[in-house]
Amino acid sequence: MDPRPIGIFDSGMGGLTVLHECLITLPHEDYVYLGDAARLPYGPRPLDEIRRFAVEIAGYLERQGVKLVVAACNSATAAALPDLQRILTVPVLGVLAPEAHAAVLATRNRRIGLLATDATVASGRYAELVHALDAGAEVVSVACPRLVPLIEGDDPFGEETAAAVRAYATPLKEAGVDTVILGCTHYPLIRPILQRVFGRGVTLVFSAEETAREVAETLARKGIENEHGREGRCTFLTTGDPETFREMGRRFLQLPIARVERVAIAALEAAAA
Ligand code: DGL
């Protein structure tokens, strides 16, 4: 038995969709969630800069005494996962490998689509991971810079979002993909729009569900689970405005958020020093 919490981080709120799935799969665990809202979005930033932010945050979480870190941000995973695994002493999981694995299992025609941020598409990591499992599978990638601002905006389910999804989906439909990786932790929020645009015949792969499964398996195999039957606690931290995080965060977590504490960027930078 290991009572230490699990650390989860994202550039902002998107990782709360991963926390949501972890809370359902592993309700007995404690969690520390850190959203780097002051530096959101990561998607349009250079990979080197995203890597620096991720190293700071993961180091900070390790100093808080977590037993495992989840990089619940596709851009951060794409930019930094190998570095995080080298630097930290606790296990670090990202959100790309579980999705790539699920997509390879799901596809029947071996044509896989990817919708993600600029940084994630530019990293080329999904194609590498898919090809490590099936060298013959084809990956068609589309960067979707408009989706995160729309999902975080006032009208995430409005016509503008639907039009953007239709435009981003067109090259994937033309390529005949039967499986689409939603390579950004914000996208589960607009799942109904995505499923309507692609239709029932296309399998959508979301990182949240796949990652929660991997977290559960990792804790069990390493023998570091908390006691079953208890109800875990969540601590929420943000570099941005705590009240905005609390309000908007509920949209992503779909559960109440009682309290959010602010963490100074300087405290994160100190953790990486
Ligand atoms: N959370 C980021 C990701 O999953 C999307 C938001 C951002 O661009 O920071 O890639």
CB 141 less than 6 A from any atom of ligand 1: no
Collapse the DSSP code of 8 into the 3-class scheme (helix H, G, I; strand E, B; otherwise coil) and give the result.
Answer: strand
The number of residues in the chain equals 273
Q: State the average pLDDT for the chain.
A: 96
Contact 147, 184 (CB under 8 A): yes
Confidence band, pLDDT 50/70/90 cuts, at residue 273: confident
User: pLDDT class for 207, splitting at 50, 70, 90?
Assistant: confident
Is ligand 1 within 6 A of the CB of residue 14?
Answer: yes
What is the best residue among 9, 47, 73 to mutate for testing ligand 1's pocket, by most ligand atoms within 8 Å of CB?
Answer: 73
Least confident of 129-133, 177-181, 196-200, 254-258: 254-258
Question: For ligand 1, is residue 202 a contact (CB within 6 Å)?
Answer: no
Q: What is the pLDDT of residue 51?
A: 98
Ligand 1: does its nearest atom lie under 6 Å from the Cβ of 123? Answer: no
Closest residue to atom 2 of ligand 1, CA basis: 73
Residue 210 banded pLDDT, cuts 50, 70, 90:
confident
Express the helix, strand and coil content of the chain in percent, nearest 5 each: 50, 15, 30
156 CB-near residues (< 8 Å, 6+ apart): 150, 189, 190, 251
* Mean local confidence (pLDDT), 221-239: 97
> Is residue 22 annotated as part of the catalytic site, yes or no?
no
- What pLDDT, on a 0 to 100 scale, did the predictor assign at position 178? 98
> For the domain bounded by 6-95+209-271, which CATH number is listed?
3.40.50.1860
Distance 75 CA to ligand 1 centre (A): 6
pLDDT of residue 251 exceeding 90, the answer is no
For the chain, give every domain's residue range: 6-95+209-271, 96-206
Residues whose CB falls within 8 Å of the CB of residue 168, separated by 6 or more in sequence, listed in order: 115, 142, 144, 147
Q: Is 40 in the pocket of ligand 1 (CB under 6 A)?
A: yes
Ligand 1 pocket, residue 186 CB under 6 Å: yes
User: Considering the chain, what percentage of its residues have pLDDT values greater than 90?
Assistant: 95
Atom of ligand 1 nearest to the CA of 148: 6
Burial environment of residue 58 by CB neighbours within 10 A (0 to 12, 13 to 18, 19 or more): buried
Cα 42 from Cα 11, distance rounded (Å): 6
pLDDT of residue 249: 94
Check for a shared fold between 6-95+209-271 and 96-206: yes
Q: What is the pTM of this model?
A: 0.95
Q: Considering only the top CATH level, what class is 96-206?
A: alpha beta
> Is residue 73 among the annotated active site residues?
yes
**Which of 22, 73, 144, 234 is the catalytic position?**
73
Q: How far apart are CA 186 and CA 74, in angstroms?
A: 10
State how far the Cα of 208 lies from the Cα of 214, in Å rounded to an integer.
Answer: 10
Q: How far is the CA of 227 from the centre of ligand 1 (A)?
A: 32
pLDDT of residue 152: 87
Residue 217, pLDDT above cutoff 80: yes
17-38 pLDDT, tens digit per residue, is 999 999 999 999 999 999 999 9
- Mean pLDDT of the region 222-247: 96
Closest CA to 272 of 6, 53, 67: 53
16, 68, 166 from 251: Cα distances, Å: 9, 25, 23
pLDDT digits (tens, 9 = 90+) for 58-99: 999 999 999 999 999 999 999 999 999 999 999 999 999 999
